[in-house]
């Protein structure tokens, strides 16, 4: 589908092997990919700088409509997928900063981790992560991103998408946790 080529995913992982893997996985689904090795680099790419993130009149934005920006204003990130365990800034820290940012908070965020720790997973989902993938990430996981990408584009979620996801969750092995916005799951 021609629409798929428009989705630009930002992948964040300090492991060079996992970066190569996630990049390949995402490209297989025809997403454009930018992979960085840290949360701070991710924020830099997204146009957020620590001292200005809460600035009301922030001149940094990733929306293509803001022509007066000087950094990365042409970058339209559809989804951020980040590792949890990273030095200095964890995926959770990055998630929080994104959700605290006026310009970035609506970008769907997915967390990946090699550890299956329920409290960690819940914390991320509560903070607004769309999904939590257990590593190593599979093609079937990446296939689940589509609905989040479409949601991000369309702002309004359609009931059918959630229903399909619930059915997928029931039939697929318990490897991903999807955030249905308050509904109890897994």
**Alpha carbons 171 and 137: distance in angstroms, whole number:** 18
Say whether residue 104 binds another protein (CB under 8 A). Answer: no
The residue (of 37 and 76) whose beta carbon lies closer to another protein is: 37
Per-residue tokens: 34? 């930018």
Piece of the chain touching another protein by CB under 8 A; list 17-25, 34-42, 70-78, 167-175: 17-25
Select the residue interacting with another protein from 9, 10, 18, 121 (CB under 8 A): 18
Q: Does 17 bind another protein (CB under 8 A)?
A: yes
Tell which one of 20, 102, 105, 164 touches another protein (CB under 8 A).
20
Question: Which two three-digit tokens encode residue 37?
Answer: 């090795």
The stretch among 11-19, 69-77, 123-131, 165-173 that binds another protein (CB under 8 A) is 11-19
* Residue 149 to residue 78: CA distance in whole angstroms: 6
Question: Residues 6 or more apart from 47 whose CB is under 8 A from it?
Answer: 60, 61, 62, 69, 71, 72, 73, 75, 103
Beta-sheet pairing, 176-178 with 131-134: antiparallel
Under rule CB under 8 A, residue 183 binds another protein: no
Tokens linked to 108: 């769907």
| Count of residues in contact with another protein, rule CB under 8 A | 15
Question: Would you count residue 138 as binding another protein (CB under 8 A)?
Answer: yes
3-class DSSP state for residue 134? strand
Tell which positions 21-80 bind another protein, by CB under 8 A.
Answer: 21, 24-25, 28
Q: Are 36 and 10 in contact (CB under 8 A)?
A: yes
Where on the chain is the footprint of another protein (CB under 8 A)? 15-18, 20-21, 24-25, 28, 85, 114, 135-136, 138-139
């Amino acid at each position: 589908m021609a629409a798929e080529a428009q989705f630009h995913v930002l992948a964040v992982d300090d492991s060079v092997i996992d970066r190569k893997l996630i990049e390949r996985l995402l490209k297989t689904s025809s997403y454009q990919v930018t992979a960085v090795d840290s949360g701070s680099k991710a924020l830099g790419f997204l146009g957020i700088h620590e001292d200005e993130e809460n600035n009301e009149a922030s001149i940094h934005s990733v929306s293509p409509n803001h022509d007066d920006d000087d950094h990365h204003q042409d970058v339209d990130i559809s989804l951020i997928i980040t590792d949890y365990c990273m030095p200095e800034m964890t995926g959770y820290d990055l998630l929080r900063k994104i959700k605290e940012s006026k310009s970035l908070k609506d970008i769907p965020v997915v967390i990946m981790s090699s550890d299956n720790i329920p409290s960690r997973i819940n914390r991320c989902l509560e903070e607004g992560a769309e999904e939590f993938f257990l590593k190593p990430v599979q093609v079937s996981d990446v296939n689940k991103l589509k609905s989040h990408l479409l949601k991000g584009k369309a702002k309004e979620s359609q009931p059918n998408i959630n229903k399909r996801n619930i059915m997928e969750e029931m039939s697929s092995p318990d490897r991903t946790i999807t955030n249905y916005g308050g509904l109890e799951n897994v």
